[in-house]
């Protein structure tokens, strides 16, 4: 994000050039040239607005989330794929099963995510065979982060979370194509993530039951799909426990809408009455 | 928006950094530790692009360990600073790292020192320094209140004043900071200054 720090630079006033009389009858010369720089965007406001929206809007059109609680990890995602304003699919699998105890989420380029998660699954299996023990979530996420870092700047678009259960218990990492890798308890990735964070942050308690956590995740994705045009389709929710992952539900978002906000018969506001006889 | 700042006191050096990991308007986490403990007596506070920050500081840390394994003794702070700057400089015209660093260390016979290393491989040995938007507020305060051989209480007091100033005046001020210290007894975490706490998860 670029903050405008021009106010902190030393002020150098542009000296208005001497006005010549007769030629400057055009309106913009009437008051002389500006003695200060006009703010960016005044010249072409529509372009400025577009640029502003583009900077604020994360490029990955999706909503995925994952959080750790006492009973393990919940992973949830929507299923919409969009190409600009066109919805290309409402049934994309955005939760990728790396192996029976680890899940990855997909945000960004679908091909990039699918390919590199599959590649990660291969590397995890090779690790198991070479070391006679399962790879940890820390290790798997570091493998992926190092691979993505080496392709930094070459146009990969991946914003993924690696969630799993290993010897140390539940683990959750956020890994992206810029090379960032963060360990945490709660993440949401994609264009709908701010909306999901709003629900997730306020409903989260570490001591939830699996059912409560399931409902929280489903609600968070639903609210994100309601507000974000690039998210929609079906909400899938998975739970990763000590024995591996299990898919809990896959609900269509429009059906969820009417379940949470059923249509209410609105009373007629004002009834027309016959005009009283004159 | 990332703030890293540090100063040298009497027999110790302090490095503080904010702890937010941010992506555009989203704060991913508020307890990301950006001051890496390089070895027993060195700290490296880093700010910059997330991938570069972690990868470069780990690269320096592992190379430091390798030197110690091979030679049976650790590198001095000055040598570490020059090595780090060299790596940044070599990469600069090919595949640059966008990280700004404050390296703090304690050497026997020399005492505490801080080195300022910025993303285009500038290297300065300094007594007080800062990176990021927070530096606009810190540097003047440090210039005004710093004096050589400050006690630890005075130095922490100054750091706290700086943190309060950043929180008051910076438009997207990070809520939490971590302070680490390096002195004769080694490099360690000193304190966290948190105004937002994430709920702790107790493992089942």
What is the per-residue pLDDT across B33-48, written as a single tens digit (0 to 9) for each?
999 999 999 999 999 9
What was the pLDDT predicted at B201? Answer: 54
DSSP calls for B36-98: EEEETTEEEEEEE-HHHHHHHHHHHHHHHHHHHHHHSSPPPHHHHHHHHHHHHHHHHTTS---
Size of interface A-B (CB pairs under 8 A): 76
What was the pLDDT predicted at B151? Answer: 97
Do B99 and B56 touch, CB atoms closer than 8 A?
Answer: yes
Phi, psi of B49 (to 5 degrees): -60, 135
Q: How far is B170 from chain A (nearest CA, A)?
A: 11
pLDDT, average across residues B137-145: 92
Contacts of A185 in chain B (CB under 8 A): 198, 201
Asked if B200 reaches chain A (Cβ–Cβ under 8 Å), the answer is yes
In whole angstroms, give the CA distance from residue B188 to residue B190.
6
Beta-carbon contacts of residue A30 (< 8 Å; ≥ 6 apart): A24
Beta-carbon contacts of residue B49 (< 8 Å; ≥ 6 apart): A178, A179, A180, B98, B99
Asked if A186 reaches chain B (Cβ–Cβ under 8 Å), the answer is yes
pLDDT, average across residues B11-25: 93
In whole angstroms, give the CA distance from residue A108 to residue B6.
38
Q: Is 70 exceeded by the pLDDT of residue B139? A: yes
**What are A265's two structure tokens?**
């018969």
Do A78 and A62 touch, CB atoms closer than 8 A?
Answer: yes
In whole angstroms, give the CA distance from residue B105 to residue B103.
7
What was the pLDDT predicted at A267? Answer: 75
What was the pLDDT predicted at A82? Answer: 84
What was the pLDDT predicted at A216? Answer: 96
Our measurement of the distance from residue A111's CA atom to the centroid of its chain's CA atoms, rounded to an integer in Å, reads 18
Asked if A55 reaches chain B (Cβ–Cβ under 8 Å), the answer is yes
What was the pLDDT predicted at A25? Answer: 45
- List the single best residue of B20, B55, B175 to mutate versus A (max A Cβ within 10 A): B55
Beta-carbon contacts of residue B81 (< 8 Å; ≥ 6 apart): B103, B115, B117, B123, B125
In whole angstroms, give the CA distance from residue B172 to residue A8.
17
Q: Which residue of B has its CA nearest to A68?
A: B201
Q: For chain A, 278 residues long, give each residue's pLDDT as a single digit of tens.
A: 555 666 655 544 333 444 444 444 444 444 555 566 666 666 677 676 666 555 544 457 899 999 999 999 999 999 998 877 888 889 999 999 998 999 999 998 888 898 999 999 999 999 999 999 999 999 999 999 999 999 988 888 899 999 999 999 999 999 999 889 999 999 999 999 999 999 999 899 999 999 999 999 999 999 999 999 999 999 999 999 999 999 999 999 999 999 998 888 877 777 777 778 87
Asked if B29 reaches chain A (Cβ–Cβ under 8 Å), the answer is yes
Asked if B199 reaches chain A (Cβ–Cβ under 8 Å), the answer is yes
pLDDT digits 0-9 by tens, B74-123: 999 999 999 999 999 999 999 899 999 999 999 999 999 999 999 999 99
For Cα atoms A115, A119, A123, give the angle at the middle one, nearest 5 degrees. 170
The count of residues in chain A is 278
Task: Encode A98-129: b = buried (16+ Cβ within 10 Å), e = exposed.
Answer: bbebbbbbbbbbbebbbebbeebbebbeebee
pLDDT, average across residues B48-65: 94
Given B50, B198, B201, which is nearest A179 (Cβ)?
A: B50
Tracing tokens 């809007």 back to the chain, one arrives at A57
What was the pLDDT predicted at B112? Answer: 97
In whole angstroms, give the CA distance from residue A184 to residue A239.
17
Half-sphere exposure for A11 (CA within 13 Å, toward CB) = 5
pLDDT digits 0-9 by tens, B163-175: 999 999 999 899 9
**What are B27's two structure tokens?**
């704060």
Average pLDDT across chain A, whole number? 84
Tracing tokens 């080195």 back to the chain, one arrives at B115
- SS in 3 state form for chain A? CCCCCHHHCCCCCCCCCCCCCCCCCCHHHCCCCCCCCCCCCCCCHHHHHHHHHHHHCCCCCCCEEEEEECCEEEEEECCCEEECCEEEECCCCCEEEEECCEEEECCECHHHHHHHHHHHHHHHHHHHHHHCCCCCHHHHHHHHHHHHHHCCCCCCCEEEEEEEEECCEEEEEEEECCCCEEECCEEEECCCHHHHHHHHHHHCCCCCCHHHHHHHHHHHHHHHHHHCCCCCCEEEEEEEECCEEEEEEEEEHHHHHHHHCCCCCCCCCCCCCCCCCC
Phi, psi of B192 (to 5 degrees): -110, 145
Average pLDDT across chain B, whole number? 93
In whole angstroms, give the CA distance from residue A162 to residue A176.
11
**What are B190's two structure tokens?**
């000193």
Contacts of A180 in chain B (CB under 8 A): 21, 23, 49-51, 54
> Rg (Cα) of chain B, in Å, rounded?
17
Half-sphere exposure for A128 (CA within 13 Å, toward CB) = 15
Inter-chain contact A3–B133, Cβ cutoff 8 Å? yes
Do B74 and B39 touch, CB atoms closer than 8 A?
Answer: yes
Do B4 and B166 touch, CB atoms closer than 8 A?
Answer: no
C-alpha dihedral sign at B18, B24, B25, B27:
negative
What was the pLDDT predicted at A75? Answer: 97
Q: How far is A194 from chain B (nearest CA, A)?
A: 7
């Amino acid at each position: 994000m670029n903050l405008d720090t021009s106010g902190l630079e030393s002020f150098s006033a542009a000296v208005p050039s001497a006005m010549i009389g007769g030629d400057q009858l055009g309106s913009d010369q009437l008051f002389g040239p500006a003695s200060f720089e006009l703010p960016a965007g005044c010249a072409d406001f529509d372009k400025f607005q577009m640029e502003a929206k583009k900077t604020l809007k994360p490029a990955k059109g999706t909503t995925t989330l994952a959080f750790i609680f006492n009973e393990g990890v919940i992973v949830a995602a929507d299923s919409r794929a969009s190409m600009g304003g066109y919805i290309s699919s409402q049934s994309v699998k955005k939760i990728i099963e790396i192996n029976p105890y680890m899940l990855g989420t997909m945000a960004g380029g679908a091909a990039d995510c699918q390919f590199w998660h599959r590649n990660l699954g291969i590397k995890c299996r090779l690790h198991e065979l070479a070391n006679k023990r399962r790879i940890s979530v820390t290790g798997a996420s570091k493998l992926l982060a190092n691979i993505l870092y080496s392709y930094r700047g070459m146009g990969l678009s991946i914003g993924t979370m690696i969630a799993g259960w290993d010897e140390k218990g539940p683990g959750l990492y956020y890994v992206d194509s810029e090379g960032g890798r963060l360990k945490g308890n709660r993440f949401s990735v994609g264009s709908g993530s701010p909306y999901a964070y709003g629900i997730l942050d306020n409903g989260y308690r570490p001591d939830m039951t699996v059912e409560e956590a399931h409902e929280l995740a489903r609600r968070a994705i639903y609210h994100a799909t309601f507000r974000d045009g690039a998210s929609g389709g079906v909400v899938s929710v998975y739970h990763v426990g000590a024995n591996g992952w299990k898919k809990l539900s896959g609900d269509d978002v429009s059906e969820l809408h009417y379940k949470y906000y059923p249509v209410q018969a609105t009373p007629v506001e004002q009834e027309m009455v016959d005009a009283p006889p004159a | 928006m990332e703030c890293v700042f540090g100063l040298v006191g009497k027999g110790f050096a302090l490095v503080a950094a904010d702890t937010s990991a941010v992506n555009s308007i989203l704060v991913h986490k508020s307890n990301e530790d950006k001051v890496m403990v390089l070895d027993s007596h060195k700290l490296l506070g880093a700010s910059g692009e997330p991938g570069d920050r972690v990868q470069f500081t780990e690269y320096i840390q592992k190379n430091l360990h390798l030197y110690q394994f091979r030679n049976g003794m650790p590198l001095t702070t000055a040598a570490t600073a020059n090595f780090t700057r060299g790596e940044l400089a070599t990469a600069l015209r090919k595949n640059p790292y966008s990280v700004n660093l404050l390296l703090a260390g304690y050497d026997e016979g020399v005492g505490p020192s801080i080195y300022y290393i910025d993303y285009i491989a500038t290297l300065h040995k300094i007594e007080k320094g800062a990176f990021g938007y927070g530096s606009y507020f810190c540097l003047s305060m440090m210039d005004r209140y710093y004096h050589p051989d400050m006690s630890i209480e005075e130095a922490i007091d100054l750091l706290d004043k700086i943190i309060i100033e950043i929180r008051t005046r910076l438009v997207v001020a990070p809520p939490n900071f971590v302070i680490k210290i390096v002195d004769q007894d080694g490099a360690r975490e000193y304190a966290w200054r948190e105004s937002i706490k994430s709920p702790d998860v107790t493992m089942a």
